[in-house]
Structures are given as C-alpha cells and as structure tokens.
C-alpha cells in the first residue's frame, strides 16, 4: 500500500466519505446520539479552529480522556485536521497513573468527560505543561464546555499539510507487563490497518455496522470502532458504559450490528450467562472478532455452537496498531491465532535470532506498514522492540506445517519444567475447558527445592464449590496436555488482576 507523502488521515477517513456522497450516512451511534459523516466533517473543522484559538500549535499534544461518545471522534479527527497530536488515554486508571502520563507526554490541553473530572482535577495545578482543560458531556463547573466552545467556532478551516510519516496520535501500551509506554503512530497507519484487515479479511462493506466492546483508547477498539468502519463509510456503535454480558447483549439487540469485536474474557463471561442466546443478540451478526489475548479453543467452539457465528481469533498489539495475524471467515481453526494477513510478514526466532523449525517455539516478529514510530522517551526499549523493519511482539508461538500459528505465552511468562518448555496458555486452555472453571492464569512458581513448576489461579463458575476440585483439575490437565504440565498449586480466587483492556496481568501473580 503506497500512501502519498503529503497526507493527512482526516482527508481519507472523513472528507472522502463526504465527497463520495455519504455525508448523510451515520458514522456513529451512541445511545440517542448520532453523528453523520457530514456532521462529523463540520465538527472537525470547528474543532481544528477551536484548538488554534486555544493557542495549540501544530505537533503539540492534547489528551483525550473521554468515554466512548460521539464527541470522541470529533476531538480526535479535529486534532488531526489541525496537525495537533491527540494522546488517547485509558478512562479506567488511577490519579497516579494519569499524573505519570500527563507528565510523560507533556500535553498542553485536556479534553475530559465530566464524570472523570473528579479523578484528575487535583492533578491539574501541578501539571506544568497542562494549561487548559475542556469538559465534555456534563457539568464542567469552572471549566469550559466543549459543545459551547464548538458552537462559537468557525465551521471552515484549512487541513494541516501533514506528512504520511508524521506522528498523528499516541496510544499508551496497556501495562500488562509493567509501566505503560507512549506509542507514537503516524498518519498512514490507520488506513493500512483498514485496507489489510478490514477490507481483505473482514470484507467490510458500507452497509456493515460495527460494535466494539473494546474502547477507542485501546488500539484494538480504535481500529474496530473507528479506522476499519470509517475506511469504507460503514457505521460504528459506541457504548460509553462498562461492557458486561447484559449491556453488550442489550446493545446488540437494539442496533443489530453485523460485526462484534470482543475480548476472550468477555466471550467467556457471556457464555457463562444463560441469557446469551442468538435471540437476545443481533439478528444481523455475521462475524465476531477476538483479540487482546489468545482465545481459548473451548470458548471459541462453545460460542460458535451456541450463537451460530464464528469468532475470528487473532493477535495485534499497540505497537502494530491492530490485528496482523488472524483466522479468516472461511478458515477458522480454533485454538490457533490463524495465519498472517496480507500486508504483514511474520518470523519465529530463538534467543539468538535464528529461525525456528516447524512446531518449535519461537518469539513472534512482525513486519508491516502499521508499525509505530517508536516509544516516547524510551530509547532502549524502542531499539529492543523496533529492530529495523521487524517489530518484536514479546509473544511466543509455534507454527505448524499448514501455516497456523499457536500461542504459547508472553516471553516473560514462559518457563521450563524438567528441562521442557511449558506454555502457560496451553495449561490455561486445559483448565478453562473444565466445566467448573470460568477463568484461569498460570505462572511459574518455585517449590521448596527451588525447582520451577506451574501454579494456577482459578476463578470458578458461579455456584461451583472448591471441594475436591484441586485433584480433579490436576488430573484433567495431565490427561489433556501432558503429565509434567499440571499445576502443583491451585489458588481459587474471586477474580484475576487485569488491565483496563481486559488483559491478565500475570506479573502481579508471580510472587
């Protein structure tokens, strides 16, 4: 895919749809609020003028700390039109985490949902670079209101003559393995994702309606609810609340999306809810997609059996912006992440960087045009992750003779038992296949002789008793994946530590 060097992504995702006659078509739906492509275009002109009137210069950074409402794309695309860089922030963090990100990114303005204002308001006086705060969707108290400011702004504006290789926006990594890092993406990356995964794998059309449980601040949600549908003039349903099985079903039943983007923990929770049936979902649903973490085989098969729709499991990353390895609509192989998608190249390498053989474990490297431009102010980590055209994912995989990739675990999560590699995910799949188990995480743990063995943290299905399960689950794993892989310890817990995007934070369990 060749992108012109003078290029601003807003011209492709917003203006082109209007030029092609889709100005009256719904771009976004959120509750009773809707936004057409034409109204979005006008709002982004106003937003660009607002930023300029606030004294925000080109290439400066502004923070988006907003729930998924129709205002989110207005602020985002308006910033790009002005050549300003939006930093998209997770809405579920603590004040300390926001303080770190504000300080790290040196944002000059913050656009924040009214409901999130109490969390960050105490930080504002001590943030040296943060000069202006605008409140969205609610009482801003002493702070200006976005809608009022937009109404007063001019509705014509020049689009910044940015470059395809210029930083367009930031996302912060999820923090599943430690402190989050500012990931810089360029203007050409969103269309690269849309062209290769959205059009070639998902075969998205203008008549499609996409609903993503993953939020817009999350790379997966960004692609699913904005880049992929907007690239073809389709419609996205936004949901500002917390995606529980019931709220997701309610949205599906109301808006009848054709594609649903979820994460493994949500699919598992929905299967545990008896009200999750085709009759209570979307009558138009043609595909479900999963990313964020590997989908357990049992979850995928049970979903397809109950809902009559396949889940396409795949893998992406904040560093690559979206999915680069996936199952396909006509080629679903549950228990694997599928095959590489067009536009991307994959390699599996050992600790020395040499290619591994068929069915051998190696770290997954990926090459493709959506790779980030590096981490902000993290030179050593940037050099370790972005090695020339290849991006190190930190994920361990095997590849079989047919070209299917099977996830084994994060590089930091893998360990050896009796000299043989153990995949935590393989053990987790075996455990979650047991009818008593809802969720599980497996980590390495040392016994009294300082030998490493698997330890499992298990969340049981509602109403299930722990009595007698320890031995049953151990034998279940021995029979399913191998006698040396069974967990020597099992802790039954109420929940597992997760990032706000649903990824299990296994490093918090390794104590």
**Average pLDDT of span 468-472:** 91
Q: For strand 362-368 and strand 390-399, is the pairing parallel, antiparallel, or unpaired?
A: antiparallel
Q: Are the CB atoms for 382 and 392 separated by under 8 Å?
A: no
Equal CATH topology for 9-20+37-187 and 191-410: yes
Q: Is the pLDDT of residue 431 over 80?
A: yes
Superfamily of domain 415-508: ANL, C-terminal domain (3.30.300.30)
Tens of pLDDT, residues 119-166 = 999 999 888 899 999 999 988 788 999 999 999 999 999 999 999 999
pLDDT of residue 503: 75
pLDDT of residue 293: 87
Architecture of domain 191-410: 3-Layer(aba) Sandwich (3.40)
* Nearest residue to 344 via CA among 200, 172, 230, 224: 200
User: Mean pLDDT in the chain?
Assistant: 93
Nearest CA among 505, 511, 507, 509 for reference residue 174: 505
Per-residue confidence band for 177, with pLDDT thresholds at 50, 70 and 90: low
Q: What is the pLDDT of residue 393?
A: 95
What's the whole-number mean pLDDT along residues 261-290?
94
Q: Does the pLDDT of residue 1 top 80, yes or no?
A: no
Q: Which two tokens stand for residue 443?
A: 């980590």
Least confident of 13-22, 56-65, 426-435: 426-435
Of 159-168, 341-350, 491-500, the one with minimum mean pLDDT is: 491-500
Of residues 426 and 312, more confidence is placed in 312
Of residues 293 and 217, more confidence is placed in 217
What per-residue string of b and e applies to 209-230 under the rule 16 or more CB within 10 Å gives b? Answer: bbbbbbbbbbbbbbbbbbbbbb
Asked if the model's pLDDT at residue 175 lies above 80, the reply is no
Q: Confidence band (pLDDT; 50, 70, 90) for 178?
A: low
* Residue-level pLDDT at 481: 82
The residue extents of the domains of the chain are 9-20+37-187, 191-410, 415-508
The tokens describing 434, both together, are 């047991």
Spatial separation of the C-alpha atoms in residues 178 and 70, rounded to whole Å: 32
Q: Kindly indicate the confidence band of residue 446, based on its pLDDT and cuts at 50, 70 and 90.
A: confident
Q: DSSP string of 303-343?
A: HHHHHSS-EEEEEE-TTTSSEEEE-BTTB--TTS-BEEPTT
**Angle at CA of residue 502, ends 501 and 504, nearest 5°:** 125
| Per-residue pLDDT at 172 exceeds 60 | yes
DSSP tag of 419: T
pLDDT of res. 499: 73
Q: In the structure, what pLDDT confidence band is assigned to residue 500 with cuts at 50, 70 and 90?
A: low
In the predicted model, is pLDDT for residue 16 greater than 70?
yes
The proportion of the chain whose per-residue pLDDT surpasses 90, expressed as a percent, equals 80
Poorest-confidence range of 19-28, 272-281, 363-372, 493-502?
493-502
Asked if the model's pLDDT at residue 450 lies above 90, the reply is no
**Can you tell me the mean pLDDT for 400-425?**
85
Q: What is the pLDDT of residue 505?
A: 83
The lowest-confidence range among 57-71, 382-396, 462-476 is 462-476
- Kindly report the three-state secondary structure assignment for every residue of 145-197: EHHHHHHHCCCCCCCCCCECCCEEEEEECCCCCCCCCEEEEECCHHHHHHHHH
Which CATH architecture is the domain 9-20+37-187 placed in? 3-Layer(aba) Sandwich (3.40)
Mean pLDDT computed over 49-76:
97
CA distance 170 to 182: 6
């Amino acid at each position: 895919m060749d992108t012109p060097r003078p290029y601003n992504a807003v011209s492709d995702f917003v203006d082109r749809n209007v030029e092609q006659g889709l100005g009256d078509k719904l771009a976004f739906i959120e509750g009773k609020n809707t936004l057409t492509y034409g109204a979005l275009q006008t709002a982004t002109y106003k937003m660009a003028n607002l930023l300029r009137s606030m004294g925000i210069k080109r290439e400066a950074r502004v923070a988006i700390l907003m729930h998924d409402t129709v205002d989110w794309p207005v602020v985002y695309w308006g910033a790009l039109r002005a050549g300003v860089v939006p930093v998209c922030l997770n809405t579920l963090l603590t004040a300390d985490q926001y303080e770190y990100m504000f300080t790290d990114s040196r944002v000059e303005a913050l656009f924040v949902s009214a409901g999130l204002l109490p969390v960050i308001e105490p930080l504002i006086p001590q943030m040296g670079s943060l000069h202006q705060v605008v409140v969205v969707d609610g009482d801003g108290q002493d702070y200006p209101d976005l809608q009022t400011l937009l109404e007063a702004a001019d509705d014509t504006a020049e689009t910044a003559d940015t470059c395809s290789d210029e930083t367009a926006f930031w996302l912060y990594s999820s923090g599943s393995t430690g402190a989050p890092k500012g990931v810089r993406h360029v203007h050409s990356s969103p269309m690269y994702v849309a062209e290769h995964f959205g059009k070639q794998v998902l075969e998205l059309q203008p008549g499609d309606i996409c609903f993503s449980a993953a939020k817009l601040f999350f790379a997966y949600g960004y692609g699913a609810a904005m880049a992929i549908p907007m690239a073809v003039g389709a419609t996205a349903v936004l949901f500002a609340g917390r995606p529980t099985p019931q709220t997701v079903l309610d949205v599906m039943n109301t808006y009848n999306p054709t594609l649903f983007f979820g994460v493994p923990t949500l699919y598992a929770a929905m299967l545990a809810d008896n009200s999750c049936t085709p009759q209570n979902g979307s009558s138009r649903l043609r595909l479900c997609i999963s990313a964020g973490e590997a989908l357990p085989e049992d979850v995928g098969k049970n979903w397809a059996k109950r809902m009559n729709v396949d889940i396409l499991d795949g893998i992406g990353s904040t560093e690559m912006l979206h999915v680069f390895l996936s199952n396909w609509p006509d080629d679903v192989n549950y228990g694997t992440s599928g095959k590489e998608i067009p536009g991307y190249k994959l390699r599996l390498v050992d600790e020395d960087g040499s290619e591994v053989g068929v069915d051998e474990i190696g770290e997954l490297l990926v090459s493709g045009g959506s790779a980030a431009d590096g981490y902000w102010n993290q030179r050593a980590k940037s050099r370790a992750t972005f090695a020339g055209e290849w991006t190190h994912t930190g994920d361990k995989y095997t590849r079989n003779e047919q070209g299917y990739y099977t996830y084994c675990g994060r590089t930091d999560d893998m360990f050896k038992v009796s000299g043989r590699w153990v995949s935590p995910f393989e053990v987790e799949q075996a455990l979650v296949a047991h009818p008593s188990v809802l969720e599980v995480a497996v980590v390495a743990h040392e016994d009294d002789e300082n030998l490493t063995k698997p330890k499992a943290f298990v969340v049981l299905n509602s109403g299930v008793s722990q009595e007698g399960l320890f031995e049953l689950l151990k034998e279940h794993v021995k029979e399913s994946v191998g006698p040396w892989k069974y967990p020597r310890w099992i802790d039954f817990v109420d929940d597992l530590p997760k990032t706000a995007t649903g990824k299990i934070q296994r490093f918090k369990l390794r104590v």
